[in-house]
Structure 1
Amino acid sequence: MFRFLDPYRIHRHRKQIHVLRSSLALALTYTVITVFALPHSAWALVSTLMVMGNLPHIGGVLDKGAQRLLGTLLGAVLGLLLLCIPSPPPLLIPAATLAAIALAIHATFSSRFGYSSLIFGITLVMVVGDGNHDIAIALWRSFNVLIGTVIGITVTAVFLPQKATDQMRFLIADNLDKLSRLYHAHTNDKRYDDDDVQYMLKKITSQLVKQRGLIDAVHQEGRLKRGALSETLSLERRMISTVELLLETHWATRDGHDIIEHLEGLREEQYLLTTSLSTLAYQVKTGQNIDLRAKAFSLDTHAERAMGARSQSGRPLFSPAGYLWLNRELGRQTNAMITFLSNMQRLPSQRLQRRAKRHYLLSEEKPLPLPERDDQR
């Protein structure tokens, strides 16, 4: 019966599960407002739908729900205070409402609590209403917003819950796996379709953007902190740029390519770096402790030949040295990524470890073919 709580299964079918979860939350909200015959109950349904939206994970709904509750409470309190003013001048309440909403709109641009500011303005308008100044209506509207928000948060946390932390793990692991495959194909001089490579690079970039959007939700779940995640994603972005530069490497002459091909031990170092990237991806996705070390490129071994490279005509060649530097940078960045992830004490997950054996752990998309090593052909 615990197969339904499998994090890999939930992640794979997250869209369908979220549709079912949202429908269940709306049905539950409708049942509550119908059984208790709550006045102005449409606001409860709207709140449930707005809180859940397109957020299938707990952290996102908790963050959005907390901001909605905060904005609702502040907006309701201010609205009620305005309505309780005895014998106000004709334009006082509209003017004060407009000024508060203007400040809230300004806060949506300058604060992380932009959604709270927006809900504050909406709630304030909802409470003040069309000028009838009925406090009972204001209280019922605010109460319905709270009911809908609480139901949305509760259903997300209880019914087949998906963690934003798991989604972050899977996205990081999938990007590392794709970088490993692209780098391996490149270093083996494999002929591959440029459209497939561009599609994969576009997918990697898209998933990096998704990771940045998950930072607040992951922080809300209490396992990983914003600062550590931001630094990790910045390093991931630099790794993507380095691999992209390597893929775009072109040789002005055949001489530079031949020098690189005959550097003893270079291909072996590149293969070990590929293995480190794919192993790191596997450990992250399966919730294991990060326990490896990428072999650092030794530029000293190849420096003399690369720096003194010349063409057959005797012209100095600078491209071999630049190519070696890019490989060294990718190795250094990989070790830095290993260090960052190993320092996240709550990144490993026994829950993922227990379920990992039941699942294929590569990306859902068709991967770029991983070529054999030269000595295995």
Structure 2
Amino acid sequence: MSQYRAFAIQHTRLFYMIRISFVMTAILLIVRVFELPYGYWALITAVTILGTIPFIGGVLTKANQRVWGTVIGGAVGLALFLVPEQYHWTHHVLFLGALLVAMYFTQEKYAYAALMVAITIVVVAGGGPADFDAATWRILNVAWAAVFSVLSSVFIFPSRATTHFLYMLEQFLQQSAKYYHQHNQHMHPNGNPDPSTPFEPLHADKLSALIDQQQNLLPHVQKETQAHSNLYTNILLIEKRLYADLEALISTHWDAQQGKDKISDMPGLMETKEALALQFQQLAEQVANKSVNAVLLEDISLLQLIPKGHDELRDDDSDISYFGYLWLNREMARQFAHLTEVSSKLFRYQ
């Protein structure tokens, strides 16, 4: 990953505030220089579109719903001005009915658009049948400010959810390699701790936090990459499986298991596990460079290990732990291969 991109990800809020400052300053200058009536509605529009969601996908979605909500609400509100001014009570009754219908749909799929319809109806027609000029200006100010906010988000230090997602994938792989390596060192025959020392299990808390952040980003990622959004979903699912396997592996007190000796004595196990940890680190570097080579199952040495002959495995209790440990490691290897396959497809489409 380039130094600028890494800096931009680590200082997202700084670039967000720069973008917001530019948009607000530009809109305020336009409103004041051209003395636009009800210009504060342009500022309100920028705040609602750019607020809370800094990513392009979220901004486009909110802007799209806001514009359509404003158009529909404006059309309904302007239609109320067809009621003659002397029938002002009819205007108010229809206004209340339209408002209630719009509020009903705020509990449906396009809740934000419905809310904008309701707000626009209030803005346009809430002042009564004599407020037509103000209604027109409010609609125009919302429309041009929405377009300006979207263009600013796209071209002024744009923040893409996909970039953040992939950066967290890179961090996930680096942390996985680190946890796995620590576990391997703990399991090494020459690195066993003092038996009298209380067992303190490792926990992959950082992996869990990264997955939670990626889960929050996923809706915005899907909006930015609709054609290939399933690949990002699959990557997150694989990460969750890897986290579950690794968490079980590093949090279990294997020294207390009856199969511990069989695990330690298996030829080549330690070397192949360390090779897999290295492959995790290499994949992180490939993700950073946006060029991933798919790894085949037969290319992972851990999956080529063959346990000892069944004639030597007659202790059921030790066998359970022994094969359970092998299964967790092999399952991690399989999920790793799957992750390289999906990631390689993703970068081919970019």
Give TM-score scaled by structure 2 length: 0.84
Q: For each residue in 1:50-73, what CA deviation from the matched residue of structure 2 results, as whole angstroms up to 9, or x when unmatched?
A: 211233333332222222222222
> What is the alpha-carbon distance in structure 2 between the residues aligned to residue 75 and residue 305 of structure 1?
75
Secondary structure class of the residue paired with 1:298 = helix
The yes-or-no answer on 1:284 pairing with 2:284 is: no
Distance 1:309 1:188, change over 3 A: farther
The yes-or-no answer on 1:343 pairing with 2:348 is: no
Out of 249, 252, 255, the position equivalent to 2:252 is 249
> What is the alpha-carbon distance in structure 1 between the residues aligned to residue 39 and residue 312 of structure 2?
75
Give the drift of 1:289: 3.7
Distance 1:196 1:286, change over 3 A: farther
Give the drift of 1:301: 0.7
Look up the equivalent residue of 1:93 and give its one-letter code. Answer: L
1:189-268 aligned at under 5 Å gives the runs 189=186, 198=203, 201-222=204-225, 225-251=228-254, 253=256, 255-268=258-271
> What is the alpha-carbon distance in structure 2 between the residues aligned to residue 306 and residue 237 of structure 1?
37
Look up the equivalent residue of 2:306 and give its one-letter code. Answer: T
Q: Which residue of 1 aligns with 2:307?
A: 302
Q: For each residue in 1:123-154, what CA deviation from the matched residue of structure 2 results, as whole angstroms up to 9, or x when unmatched?
A: 22222224345222222112222222222212
Distance 1:78 1:196, change over 3 A: farther
Look up the equivalent residue of 1:131 and give its one-letter code. Answer: G
> What is the alpha-carbon distance in structure 1 between the residues aligned to residue 92 and residue 11 of structure 2?
54
Q: Which residue of 1 aligns with 2:278?
A: 275
> What is the alpha-carbon distance in structure 2 between the residues aligned to residue 254 and residue 210 of structure 1?
35
* Structure 1 gaps, min length 5: 349-377
> What is the alpha-carbon distance in structure 2 between the residues aligned to residue 300 and residue 292 of structure 1?
17
Give the drift of 1:23: 1.0
Give the drift of 1:231: 2.1
Contact 2:59 2:150 in 1 (8 A): yes
Look up the equivalent residue of 2:121 and give its one-letter code. Answer: L
Give the drift of 1:259: 1.5
Q: Which residue of 2 aligns with 1:138?
A: 135
> What is the alpha-carbon distance in structure 2 between the residues aligned to residue 49 and residue 159 of structure 1?
16
Q: Which residue of 1 aligns with 2:28?
A: 30
> What is the alpha-carbon distance in structure 1 between the residues aligned to residue 16 and residue 333 of structure 2?
39
Q: Which residue of 1 aligns with 2:196?
A: none
> What is the alpha-carbon distance in structure 1 between the residues aligned to residue 234 and residue 82 of structure 2?
49
Q: Which residue of 1 aligns with 2:171?
A: 174
Secondary structure class of the residue paired with 1:188 = helix
> What is the alpha-carbon distance in structure 1 between the residues aligned to residue 341 and residue 202 of structure 2?
28
1:123-134 aligned at under 5 Å gives the runs 123-132=120-129, 134=131
Secondary structure class of the residue paired with 1:239 = helix
Distance 1:284 1:203, change over 3 A: same
Distance 1:138 1:175, change over 3 A: same
CA-based RMSD of the aligned residues comes to: 3.0
Q: For each residue in 1:20-50, what CA deviation from the matched residue of structure 2 results, as whole angstroms up to 9, or x when unmatched?
A: 1111111011011111111111111111122
Q: Which residue of 2 aligns with 1:59?
A: 57
Query: Which structure exhibits the higher relative contact order, with contacts defined as CA atoms closer than 8 Å and separated by 6 or more residues?
Result: 1
User: Aligned residues, how many?
Assistant: 334
> What is the alpha-carbon distance in structure 1 between the residues aligned to residue 255 and residue 275 of structure 2?
28
The yes-or-no answer on 1:161 pairing with 2:158 is: yes
Contact 1:306 1:321 in 2 (8 A): no
Deviates more, 1:82-91 or 1:254-263: 82-91
Look up the equivalent residue of 2:104 and give its one-letter code. Answer: L
Give the drift of 1:195: 9.6
Structure index of larger Rg: 2
Give aligned-pair identity as a percent. Answer: 26
Look up the equivalent residue of 1:298 and give its one-letter code. Answer: L
Q: Which residue of 2 aligns with 1:92?
A: 93
* Structure 2 gaps, min length 5: 194-198
Distance 1:156 1:309, change over 3 A: farther
Distance 1:37 1:299, change over 3 A: same
Deviates more, 1:176-185 or 1:126-135: 126-135
Q: Which protein is richer in helix relative to its size? A: 2
Q: Which residue of 1 aligns with 2:13?
A: 15
Q: For each residue in 1:230-277, what CA deviation from the matched residue of structure 2 results, as whole angstroms up to 9, or x when unmatched?
A: 222112111111111111212374542221111111112211211221
Give the drift of 1:119: 2.3
> What is the alpha-carbon distance in structure 2 between the residues aligned to residue 10 and residue 229 of structure 1?
21
Give the drift of 1:290: 3.3
Contact 2:180 2:246 in 1 (8 A): yes
Look up the equivalent residue of 1:256 and give its one-letter code. Answer: G
> What is the alpha-carbon distance in structure 2 between the residues aligned to residue 10 and residue 76 of structure 1?
39
Contact 1:127 1:141 in 2 (8 A): yes
> What is the alpha-carbon distance in structure 1 between the residues aligned to residue 290 and residue 245 of structure 2?
26
Contact 1:218 1:224 in 2 (8 A): no
> What is the alpha-carbon distance in structure 2 between the residues aligned to residue 335 and residue 53 of structure 1?
40
